[in-house]
Amino acid sequence: MLRPPEHVQRWRDRRDRYRPAGEVIRTRDYEVAAIAEDRVAKGFVQHHHYSASYPAARFRQGLYRHGELVGVAVFSHPAHDRVLTSVFPGVATAAVELGRFVLLDDVPGNGETWFLARAFEQLRREGLEGVVSFSDPVPRTCADGASVFPGHIGVIYQAHNAIYLGRGRAQVLRILPDGRAFSHRAVTKLRSGVRGWRYAAAMLEHHGATPAPADDVGRRAWAAHWIAALTRPLRHAGNHKYAWGLTTAGRRALVTSLPYPKRLAA
């Protein structure tokens, strides 16, 4: 179900929740601090975000309320450097992707922009020039039709004055019975047998696949069979792409923003 723009998205136990956008947090109750241990941020994200997945984190920031972790921002390095260098030319490590941004459903409406502003301040102190992020507007459902993700157009990114760069590459996703995407990277790892293939195989085994064989020929045949049997195709027109310049050089690298998207679309 689509939500009106006056509401903002939250998460708990991998289900979306909503708060009125006009709410104001009591800032004295909150603080933002780096999360030293990757397992803490990973546990929070996997427990609450609908994807139950965690990116390759470079920086982890936590939103704390009286010492309790109620939000996590994970700034990561994408699978391909060009995701960053196409926006911020130069060394890929000078920028990061906002790979996960998760707040619990009891954080008031403007908590996201307040949290994001302070996380960006910490990135500036680390010498970062820019941030890229994506919003996925395409809803996800389980095999039984139940909604697990309603899609979003990046309203919070817009509220935080991001530059809108249009949509990413269109593709066909493979969707597991629980609504999660079985990524192209997972497919590639299974077929090639590189590091991480066992984790990809376990995702299929969780949904009923037989144990994956270890030999190359058997594993490729196994992957072809179970991917076809357990996933369904979803045509995706591409995620919305946003960026922020954190420094003068970062801001100069950005083009003029395209008009913000205002509603969900396929």
Domains and CATH numbers, the chain: 7-170+237-253 (3.40.630.30), 173-233 (no CATH)
pLDDT of residue 4: 42
pLDDT 10s digits, 118-150: 999 999 999 999 999 999 998 888 888 888 787
* pLDDT band of 32, cuts 50, 70, 90: very high
Q: What is the mean pLDDT of residues 185-211?
A: 94
pLDDT of residue 3: 44
Tell the residue number behind the tokens 């179900």, with chain if given.
Answer: 1
Average pLDDT across the chain, whole number: 90
* pLDDT band of 11, cuts 50, 70, 90: low
* pLDDT band of 2, cuts 50, 70, 90: very low
Task: Return d(Cα 19, Cα 134) in angstroms, integer.
Answer: 21
More confident residue, 161 or 266: 161
* pLDDT band of 1, cuts 50, 70, 90: very low
pLDDT of residue 155: 86
Give phi and psi for 202, each to the nearest 5.
Answer: -65, -30
| 263 pLDDT above the threshold of 90 | no
Q: What is the mean pLDDT of residues 29-52?
A: 92
pLDDT 10s digits, 78-120: 989 999 999 999 999 999 999 999 999 888 878 889 999 999 9
Residues 6+ apart with CB under 8 A from 40: 60, 62, 69
Query: CA distances (Å), 64 to each of 20, 23, 68, 103, 182, in order?
Result: 20, 18, 5, 10, 32
Query: CA distances (Å), 23 to each of 71, 104, 134, in order?
Result: 17, 14, 25
pLDDT of residue 6: 55
pLDDT of residue 215: 94
Q: What is the mean pLDDT of residues 149-178?
A: 91
